[in-house]
Structures are given as C-alpha cells and as structure tokens.
Amino acid sequence: MLEPWRTGKVIKTEDITALTRRFWIQVPELEVFDFKPGQFVTLDLPIHEQKNKRWRSYSIASAPDGTNVFELVIVLLDGGAGTHYLFNEVSIGTEIMLRGPQGKFVLPETITEDLYFICTGTGIAPFRSMVQFLHKHKLPHQSLHLIFGCRKFGDGLYVDELKQLEKDEPGFYFHPCYSREEEVGPGAHKGYVHPVYEALTDMGKKPAKFYLCGWKNMIDEAKYRILQMGYDKKAIHLELYG
C-alpha cells in the first residue's frame, strides 16, 4: 500500500563535502516515521507544473530510531533542477511534501551469507542505514563488507563514522576506494570498487549476496563482473541513481 503524501519540515542541514549536503527532515504529523533500512522517500518539489517532473527520490541515510526524523544525503547535480532547489531555496523550517517509505531494497530476513554493499557517492545512504541498524540491534550476520567508491579524499561520506563502526561491530569491514588519489593510507584502496570485492570473494569462491547502489555505469560493470565470477543473478540486488 502506497503511503499518503505528508508534510515534512527541514530541521537541520550540514555540508558534508563541497557538493554534498545532509538534510534532517521531521514529519510533524507522525509520532514515529518508521521504515526499513534501505528504503527511500519521494519529495515533491516546486520546480515544475507537471507532478511527475517535480518528484525526486532519495534513499534514507539514517537508521530508524523511533522518532519522526530521518536524514537524507544529497549531491548537487550540475543542471539538476531538484538539487538546485534543495541547495539554494531550502533552509531550516522549509516545508517539503514527501511520500514514503517505499522500496524493496532491504536486508534479508536472516543473513546466512556474506554481504557485499557496493556503492559510489551518495549511493552509500541505504548502506549506512542498514549497517547502523544491524549494529544498534545487535543482529546476527556473516561478514559484511561496505565498499565505497569516490574520487578524492574530500569526496568521502561518513568515512570517520564507518571506520569507527568497523572497530565497534564484529564482522563489519569498511573499504573506501579513491579513484583519483595517488597514495591512500592503511584500510583504503586506490582505484575503483571492482577489484576489491573480486579479491574478497576470492573470485567467486565464497557464497555471497551483493547489494549495489550508485551510478548506472558502476552498477552495470559490477553486475557483469559478479556474474562472470559465477554468482547467480538472484544474488544481486540493486538501486539505481540518476
């Protein structure tokens, strides 16, 4: 059943990189905004007369916490009407029409295999939600690898938080990958995300499930490589951006 449109209110924003901003949105009419980690909300922004040209969907970046507040992390797109509005017209107190939660990009009921969360840029949002949720509720899982790709150190999202979570959550491993840095420190990788999961799965020798979130090019290549390693397409779950 589709959730009704509701009024959300921006209660806080914070720039996380030069072009990426965190938005905390409260839904005053609800005591609790409940959702499953990995789900998204659709915003109806006043940027066009046609409804479907006003709608923009974003994965929720926070874990459900029993309140009516959730977090989005959004990158400013060159020429993007939706993000231009969010970055230039929205401030504390701005009301936004929203619908959600929606989506089936969620964790399995029981985690019986290693999980690989593979993402680029703000595609990290649903995985941050999932990992925080698993940690908070001490849910059992196998090895859990979050492989996050971006260009430079300055583009990293939630890096310090996830490095700390790696220390606090047994069986959770964070692998930041930087495609345009010459040197990276311990625990980080130079280049793209693909060689990292190939090495970790020992080129398809370990049972696993793969969750992919980010730009289409990355997802297409990851899908191809994972199938080439011998995994079934049912082992691949994806959420496309853009």
The domain locations on the chain are: 5-102, 114-241
What pLDDT is stored for residue 242 in this prediction? Answer: 56
In degrees, to the nearest 5, what angle opens at C-alpha 59 toward C-alphas 84 and 99? Answer: 80
Residue type, 215: W
Residues 6+ apart with CB under 8 A from 190: 177, 178, 179, 181, 182, 183, 184
Fold of 5-102: Elongation Factor Tu (Ef-tu); domain 3 (2.40.30)
Fold of 114-241: Rossmann fold (3.40.50)
pTM: 0.96
Alpha-carbon gap, residue 44 to 42, rounded angstroms: 7
Q: What is the pLDDT along the chain (242 residues), one digit of tens a residue?
A: 789 999 999 999 999 999 999 999 999 999 999 999 999 999 999 999 998 899 999 999 999 999 999 999 999 999 999 999 999 999 999 999 999 999 999 999 999 999 999 999 999 999 999 999 999 999 999 999 999 999 999 999 999 999 999 999 999 999 999 999 989 988 899 999 999 999 999 887 889 999 999 989 999 999 999 999 999 999 999 988 75
What pLDDT is stored for residue 202 in this prediction? Answer: 86
Alpha-carbon gap, residue 39 to 224, rounded angstroms: 25
What pLDDT is stored for residue 59 in this prediction? Answer: 97
What pLDDT is stored for residue 154 in this prediction? Answer: 94
